[in-house]
Copies of this chain bind each other. A is one copy, B any other.
Amino acid sequence: MRVGILTGGGDCPGLNAVLRAIVRKGVPAYGHEFVGFRDGWRGVLEADVQPLDIPDVRGLLPRGGTILGSSRTNPFASADGVDRIRRSLAELRIDALVAIGGEDTLGVAARLHDEGLHVVGVPKTIDNDLGGTDYTFGFDTAVSIATEAIDRLHTTAESHHRVLIVEVMGRHAGWIAVHAGMAGGANAILIPEQPFSMDRVEAWVESRFRDRYASIIVVSEGAVPEGGAAVLTSGQTDAFGHARLGGVGDWLAHEIERRTGKEARTTVLGHVQRGGTPTARDRWLATRFGLHAIDAVQAGEWGMMAALRGTDIVMVPLLEATKELKTVDPALYAEAEVFFG
């Protein structure tokens, strides 16, 4: 079989490890040939490919990012997208596609499967908000990086009377914030699933100051105060009277300083969370996803994707990943709350 592989959406540690595993197994075990599409669906639409044989995947296991490049191109955005994909695959004599990506990429993959194309998926999201799988690769790396940042803030927190805020990824789901906050010993964790009360935040901060301890607050980039985004984006001004607004982390620092009179400082980790070498666990998971995906291609299990269940990799329908956003389990959040304040 000739198999095309693409990586879509934001980059994520472990993408390259998936590529490597697919090729390292597919070539010798099944005699597959591989081509890599450049920049996600854009490469498929434009038949823009690069070779992907065993020498091409050498050294990829520990390497973050994706050697195939990525984009947010959606083939269904144009009326003839599916036709172009069919032509492109025919021209390149591609028998099957492995689509590695998140909600958008897998959503496209599911629709192409409905159109009769041979597609297998591998779920990818830093934010851990895809359904159908216990975890996705990249998430453990993001949590580790955020936790290490929180660890470092503890020493400042012990030496000064300050409030330290870490803004982490998570636009719609607070998984990174909850995991890193629990692992780092945060005094409060604010997530998108639940608008936060500034009165409650203020009470936590003040209660910590009474014991001479500073506070560390972890906030998802998508968290909003009660009253919603309108509150968040209402103009704040800095020390010079200039208008000021970064993200929710900056807003929170400003608001805490205003309410408590104590210094508050924000760290915005940004893309640092999605870069660099994957953790051992993410490499292990990405490798296994790749192995099972190529087994599924060989077995003709079209429309399925690799998923982690406990310690097993299983194949589940692509639709399970995308039918609804996987948000933080309230029971888990309640466990995290034990350590607030």
Q: Which of A66, A184, A271 has the most chain B CB atoms inside 10 A of its CB?
A: A271
Query: B147 near A280 (CB under 8 angstroms)?
Result: yes
A338 CB, nearest partner CB in chain B, Å: 5
With contacts A156-B275, A271-B265 taken as known, whether A143 is within 8 angstroms of B11 at the C-beta atoms is: no
Query: A155 near B62 (CB under 8 angstroms)?
Result: no
24 example contacts (A-B, Cβ-Cβ < 8 A) are as follows A11-B160, A13-B155, A21-B338, A24-B339, A62-B185, A65-B156, A134-B310, A135-B311, A143-B284, A144-B279, A153-B272, A164-B271, A182-B283, A183-B281, A183-B287, A184-B280, A233-B240, A245-B246, A246-B250, A266-B268, A267-B269, A267-B271, A267-B272, A279-B279
Judge if A270 is at the interface, Cβ distance under 8 Å: yes
Judge if A145 is at the interface, Cβ distance under 8 Å: yes
Provide the bound-state CA to CA distance between A71 and B287, in Å: 34
User: Which 3 pairs across A and B sit closest by C-beta, in order of nearness?
Assistant: A243-B243, A64-B155, A65-B155
A151 CB, nearest partner CB in chain B, Å: 6
Q: Which of A13, A143, A147, A275 has the most chain B CB atoms inside 10 A of its CB?
A: A275
B contact residues around A69 at 8 Å (CB): 159-160
B contact residues around A210 at 8 Å (CB): none
Query: A182 near B284 (CB under 8 angstroms)?
Result: yes
Instruction: List the B residue with the shortest CB-CB distance to A242.
Output: B233
Number of residues of chain A lying within 8 A (CB) of chain B: 83
Provide the bound-state CA to CA distance between A331 and B327, in Å: 32
Query: A64 near B311 (CB under 8 angstroms)?
Result: no
Q: Which of A175-216 contact B (CB under 8 A)?
A: 179-180, 182-185
Query: B335 near A291 (CB under 8 angstroms)?
Result: yes
Contact of A271 among B144, B153, B288 (CB under 8 A): B153
Judge if A274 is at the interface, Cβ distance under 8 Å: yes
Provide the bound-state CA to CA distance between A63 and B338, in Å: 19
Provide the bound-state CA to CA distance between A269 and B272, in Å: 10
Judge if A149 is at the interface, Cβ distance under 8 Å: yes
Query: A275 near B243 (CB under 8 angstroms)?
Result: no
B contact residues around A152 at 8 Å (CB): 64, 145, 271-276
Contact flags A7-50 to B (C-beta < 8 A → 1, else 0): 10011010100000100110001000000000000000000000
Query: A180 near B280 (CB under 8 angstroms)?
Result: yes
7 more CB-based (< 8 A) A-B contacts, given A64-B154, A151-B276: A61-B185, A64-B155, A143-B281, A152-B272, A154-B276, A179-B284, A180-B280
Q: Which of A275-326 contact B (CB under 8 A)?
A: 275-277, 279-281, 283-284, 287-288, 291, 309-311
Judge if A127 is at the interface, Cβ distance under 8 Å: no
Judge if A238 is at the interface, Cβ distance under 8 Å: yes
B contact residues around A269 at 8 Å (CB): 267
Judge if A51 is at the interface, Cβ distance under 8 Å: no
Contact of A24 among B244, B250, B280, B338 (CB under 8 A): B338
Provide the bound-state CA to CA distance between A194 and B210, in Å: 44
